[in-house]
Amino acid sequence: MFVYPSIFVLLMWYDTIIGIDIALAKEFLEKGETVGIPTETVYGLAANALSEDAVLKIFSVKNRPHFDPLIVHLATVNEIEKYVEQIPAAAQKLIEAFMPGPLTLLLKKKNNIPDLVTSGLDRVAIRVPQHVLTSALLQQLDFPLAAPSANPFGYISPTSAYHVYDQLHGRIPYILDGGPTEVGVESTIVGFEDEETVIYRLGGLAQEDIERIVGNTRLQINSGSNPHSPGMLNSHYAPRKKLVILEADSNEVTPAGNAGFIGFDKADERFKSEHQILLSEKGSVKEAAKNLFAAMRQLDASEVAMIYAVQFPENGLGKAINDRLKRAAAE
């Protein structure tokens, strides 16, 4: 971890500094800059959500299309009503059960949220992150933060400050270093239509946990080119090298000798041992989700020519892992 005195940091605008100075992060954000921030899910690229000029910098730094909406991060659940027209009963139950945490709610927005944040849609994605540093930062700001993942558009999401630096150094002034993320995949996005609870993006909160609070849910996972919630384009979270998903009955596949392998808890004899990464040797899907993006990055930076990944059990966070792998494998 690199920590620099504030005066020195201000002399280093030509590069990006990693540190734990919340006051300095606040100063940059109040000047309309973008800052890398840690959350329990992945690192975000944050800017003042109420300033169109600041939000435009997010799109520019990420090279993100303006039709892909952003998530607004708040300090506490008590602030939600400032930015949404109403909170359905089911949403309130989820707020009480899971916020702060890896949950994003898609709710009808008030006019104080710029249309640029929501890509012109009438609903805004709202989240209260759980990470101690970002929570402290948000409590010191007079505005919420718009913050998609802190990576070039379409690439693997960052789960450490150094992932952010590797991709965006020189393009943002500061990265708040909160250590490795705990969850490792993005938040679950939930909305409400005609009193029905709808999951738009699978993520760090399992569908089963949501249904335990509100009953049955409907999955509406957008995979087209016109998303109705953040992070839902068909090709996303992708390494630069081709990624192929191995189906359960894929024993007949003969990978090339220099192919990489992302497994769950068991090695695969078809791949060289030095080219294999197991996400959880103890068979925990939560641990696998935490390690997924880092494993993709490691193999993408290695000598392997392409990457194979196993399909995960369709329960708990296994559904979110499979969703990320599917988007990473999309052409």
Does residue 1 form part of some domain? no
Q: What is the DSSP string of 200-218?
A: EE--SS-HHHHHHHH--EE
Residues 40 and 111 both lie in one domain: yes
**Model confidence, pTM:** 0.90
Does residue 237 form part of some domain? no
Residues 186 and 302 both lie in one domain: no
Q: What is the DSSP string of 134-151?
A: HHHHHHH-SS-EE--BSS
Does residue 224 form part of some domain? no
Residues 254 and 131 both lie in one domain: no
User: Which domain covers residue 214, as residue numbers?
Assistant: 6-219
Q: What is the DSSP string of 266-327?
A: S--TTS-GGGEEES-TT--HHHHHHHHHHHHHHHHTSS-S-EEEEPPPSSTTHHHHHHHHHH
Give the largest CA-CA distance in the chain: 60
Does residue 315 form part of some domain? yes
CATH of the domain at 308: 3.40.50.11030
Does residue 136 form part of some domain? yes
CATH of the domain at 30: 3.90.870.10
Q: What is the pLDDT of residue 1?
A: 38
Does residue 31 form part of some domain? yes
Q: What is the pLDDT of residue 247?
A: 80
Residue pLDDT, tens place only, 31-68: 999 999 999 999 999 999 999 999 999 999 998 888 88
Does residue 322 form part of some domain? yes
Rg, Å, the chain Cα set? 19
Collapse the DSSP code of 117 into the 3-class scheme (helix H, G, I; strand E, B; otherwise coil) and give the result.
Answer: helix
Q: What is the pLDDT of residue 6?
A: 41
**Residues 309/295, Cβ–Cβ less than 8 Å:** no
- In angstroms, rounded to a whole number, what is the distance separating the alpha carbons of residues 290 and 284? 10
Q: Kindly give the interhelix angle for 161-168 and 285-300, rounded to the nearest 10 degrees.
A: 30
* Regions of the chain short of the pLDDT cut 70: 1-14, 222-236, 248-252
Residues 144 and 280 both lie in one domain: no
**Residues 310/246, Cβ–Cβ less than 8 Å:** yes
Residues 152 and 285 both lie in one domain: no
Does residue 264 form part of some domain? yes
Q: What is the pLDDT of residue 248?
A: 66
